[in-house]
Structure 1
Amino acid sequence: MGEISIKINIADRVYPLRVDTAEEEIIRHAAKLINEKVKELQDSYTVRDKQDLLSMCVLQYATGMLKAERQVQTQDQGLEQSVHELDQLLSNFFTK
């Protein structure tokens, strides 16, 4: 797949980007989510400075991403422990 040029509008600013065609839909969706979150924050708080709203938006998304990563890591550790226990059970079964 090739690269294409697109323009993304985030918080009333246009950003020209060159993206892989496979990523275009994801990037456009991400920009839409950012704009919706900025609008939500703008409606909820008296903050009107776009930079402040974008900073708050980034903080919320980064926090969510870190929580998701931590949850996946915890699940991976639990899965690893379960596999280890199963391996020990099988080893004990076959060595008897």
Structure 2
Amino acid sequence: MGEISIKINIADRVYPLKVDTEEEELIRRAAKLVNDRIKEYQENYAVKDKQDLLSMSVLHYATASLKAERKVTVEDTTVAEKAYQLDHMLTEFFKKQ
């Protein structure tokens, strides 16, 4: 697909971007999540500085990303172990036949 130019508003600043058309919705949703997180921190904490709010939001999403990566790795390992066990069981079964 092609690239399009869009403008994304994060923390009251506009950022012009060139993105693939299939990624536009994802990027807009991500910007909304960041802005929602900033708003939440602004309302719940005595933080007014946009840089601090952005830093806290980035930390939140980076932590969530790392947790998701860890979970996928653990699940991949579990699936691989189960596949190995199944393969071993089938091998033993067919040896007896």
- Scaled to the shorter chain, the TM-score interval is over 0.9
Aligned residue pair count: 96
Instruction: Please give the secondary structure, in 1, of the residue aligned with 2:14.
Output: strand
Q: Which residue in the other structure is 1:16 paired with?
A: 16
User: So what's the TM-score if we normalise by structure 1?
Assistant: 0.97
Give the whole-Å Cα distance in 2 for the aligned partners of 1:75 and 1:30. Answer: 25
Q: Which runs of 4+ in 1 moved over 2 A?
A: none
1:7-37 superposed Cα distances (whole Å, 9 cap, x missing partner): 0000000000011111111111110110000
Give the whole-Å Cα distance in 2 for the aligned partners of 1:30 and 1:89. Answer: 45
Give the whole-Å Cα distance in 2 for the aligned partners of 1:92 and 1:50. Answer: 63
User: So what's the TM-score if we normalise by structure 2?
Assistant: 0.96
Q: Which residue in the other structure is 2:95 paired with?
A: 95
Q: Which residue in the other structure is 1:33 paired with?
A: 33
Letter in 2 for 1:76: D
Q: Which residue in the other structure is 1:45 paired with?
A: 45
Give the whole-Å Cα distance in 2 for the aligned partners of 1:22 and 1:85. Answer: 40
Give the whole-Å Cα distance in 2 for the aligned partners of 1:72 and 1:27. Answer: 23
Give the whole-Å Cα distance in 2 for the aligned partners of 1:60 and 1:20. Answer: 26
Q: Kindly report the root-mean-square deviation, in angstroms, between the aligned alpha carbons of the 2 structures.
A: 0.6
Q: Which residue in the other structure is 2:85 paired with?
A: 85
Q: What are the ranges of 5 or more consecutive residues in structure 1 without an aligned counterpart?
A: none
Give the whole-Å Cα distance in 1 for the aligned partners of 2:59 and 2:24. Answer: 24
Give the whole-Å Cα distance in 1 for the aligned partners of 2:86 and 2:10. Answer: 50
Q: Alignment identity in percent?
A: 64
